Amino acid sequence: MRPLLFTDARLVDPERGEERRGQLLVRGGLIAEPGPADDAVRFDCGGLCLAPGIVDLGVKVSEPGERHKESFRSAGRAAAAGGVTTMVTRPDTLPAIDTPEVLEFVTRRARDEAAVRVAPMAALTRGRQGREMTEIAFLRDAGAVAFTDADAVVTDPKVFVRCLTYARALGALVVGHAQDPGLSAGASATSGKFAALRGLAAVSPMAERIGLERDLALVEMAAARYHADQVTTAAALPALERAKAAGLDVTAGVSIHHLTLNEFDVGGYRTFFKVKPPLRSEDDRQAVVEAVASGLIDVISSMHTPQDEESKRLPYDEAASGAVALQTLLPAAMRLHHAGDLDLPTLWRAMSLNPARRLGLPGGRLAPGTPADLVLFDPDAPFVLDRFTLLSKSKNTPFDGARMQGRVMSTWVGGERVFGGTGSGDALAPG
């Protein structure tokens, strides 16, 4: 493979926290030191942004079990079209990814079908039931990058602290879902005026703080490595801040939906806006945006959750939770950029650098020697999203019909173009 030289790029470098005009040389699938490159294929970026590919922590690919909702092939194509070069997949499948055998199936499917890298997470407890721990060492050896029961909270603290302790000895990262399951049982909205007016079963934002405080106390007991999948409320932030100040090995994420939407977007019971945890108040949204800006919240992810039409065409309380977002993560993130809330290096710190670091993956940076996983995008290009153009098998996006800005032009994984260029469909923004 000949070297590849990107010219006239607006480089987004999260590691150095800067944007700069320049060139980027790729050699052997890796980013290379700048130098003479007479033999290189030149790629003129035309002044558009070139950034590390997104490392998306928390993607649900519905294999095994519900391939009609999403397969590794469809998710991989959606990821490539969305500038996501690594999908960190969730184990909340049917069955759960809780044995080395199931994990082996997943890694084989991912290798054969997915256009981008896949770094699988495995279940923390068997069947995500919160009773017996999984074979964490075997699973780690089979390629699991972290351990989580996804949105199933391990309710018994004794079980959870043992999992944390066992994982700690192996250096494994545990990803928790900070939520008090008693308070949040049955809820489909955040309690407040809007939920009360709509008559929806609601959960107090305090349930997140209680869940996080409990998890952090147990993490302190076990001295474990812990990542909270989604911190979405102002009330939970002080606990996170205290834990970090105390030196616990703790990080936190938030979904793009909680950064760009609020509870009022549900409007007249629009079930595509039903996510887990439910959308929050505008005050909470602003607080978590600020927490991403300050670095208190480390990671932004899509929380990509495919659901078929039938499971969403139900009364709100009965409808399934979750939204697809692999392809809308970047344009939605551009809303935060254009609003002046987060600059591009800060966004990429949260979408690429931090998740890669936390999981021990080599990508997410523009440093020489790291994989040439790159996304070229136009941060300003406007379009109106039509959900039926999405490449995911499931089309459950809350951004259907939304005006968005920020279009992915091309995506490279290990120096190979996986999206964009001649012949490949530009699904998001025709014209």
Partner 1 sequence: MTFRASHLLGIEHLAPDEITAVLDLADTYVALNRSDAKHSDALAGLTQINMFFESSTRTQASFELAGKRLGADVMSMQMQASSIRKGETLIDTALTLNAMRPDLLVVRHPHSGAVDLLAQKVNCAVLNAGDGRHEHPTQALLDALTIRRAKGRLHRLTVAICGDIAHSRVARSNILLLGKMEARIRLVGPPTLMPAGIADWGVEVTDDMAKGLAGADVVMMLRLQRERMDGAFIPSEREYYHRFGLDARKLAHAAPDAIVMHPGPMNRGVEIDGTLADDINRSVIQEQVEMGVAVRMAAMDLLARNLQAARAA
Binding-site ranges for partner 1 (CB under 8 A):
191-200, 202, 204, 268-269, 310, 313-318
> What does R_g of the chain's alpha carbons equal in angstroms?
20
Q: Which is nearer to partner 1, 317 or 426 (CB)?
A: 317
Smallest distance, partner 1 to C-beta of residue 135, A = 38
Query: For residue 224, which amino acid is it?
Result: A
Q: Which is nearer to partner 1, 199 or 295 (CB)?
A: 199
CA atoms within 13 A on the CB side of 101: 1
Distance CA 24, CA 32 (A): 8
Q: Which is nearer to partner 1, 193 or 403 (CB)?
A: 193
Smallest distance, partner 1 to C-beta of residue 182, A = 12
Smallest distance, partner 1 to C-beta of residue 392, A = 23
Whether omega before 205 lies within 30 degrees of 0, making that bond cis, reads no
Q: Which is nearer to partner 1, 94 or 197 (CB)?
A: 197
Smallest distance, partner 1 to C-beta of residue 284, A = 13
User: Are 163 and 124 in contact, with CB atoms under 8 Å apart?
Assistant: yes
Distance CA 379, CA 50 (A): 10
Smallest distance, partner 1 to C-beta of residue 138, A = 40
Distance CA 275, CA 250 (A): 24
Distance CA 47, CA 285 (A): 32
User: Are 208 and 239 in contact, with CB atoms under 8 Å apart?
Assistant: no
Smallest distance, partner 1 to C-beta of residue 94, A = 20
Q: Which is nearer to partner 1, 197 or 245 (CB)?
A: 197
Smallest distance, partner 1 to C-beta of residue 260, A = 23
Stretch (H or E) spanning 189: strand 189-190
Smallest distance, partner 1 to C-beta of residue 212, A = 20
Burial class (CB in 10 A: 0-12, 13-18, 19+), 212: buried
Smallest distance, partner 1 to C-beta of residue 229, A = 25
- Residue 324 is classified by DSSP as -
Q: Which is nearer to partner 1, 38 or 318 (CB)?
A: 318
Q: Which is nearer to partner 1, 220 or 317 (CB)?
A: 317
Strand ordering across the sheet containing 173-176: 147-148, 173-176, 225-228, 250-255, 299-301
Distance CA 325, CA 427 (A): 14
Q: Which is nearer to partner 1, 160 or 272 (CB)?
A: 272
Smallest distance, partner 1 to C-beta of residue 195, A = 7
Distance CA 111, CA 365 (A): 23
Going by C-alpha positions, the residue among 34, 14, 37, 75 that lies closest to residue 374 is: 14
Q: Which is nearer to partner 1, 54 or 200 (CB)?
A: 200
User: Are 77 and 391 in contact, with CB atoms under 8 Å apart?
Assistant: yes
Smallest distance, partner 1 to C-beta of residue 202, A = 6
Q: Which is nearer to partner 1, 203 or 222 (CB)?
A: 203
User: Are 311 and 302 in contact, with CB atoms under 8 Å apart?
Assistant: no
Per-position b or e across 237-274, b if 16+ CB within 10 A of its CB? bebbeebbeeebebbbbbbbbbbbbbbeebeeeebbbb
Q: Which is nearer to partner 1, 112 or 318 (CB)?
A: 318
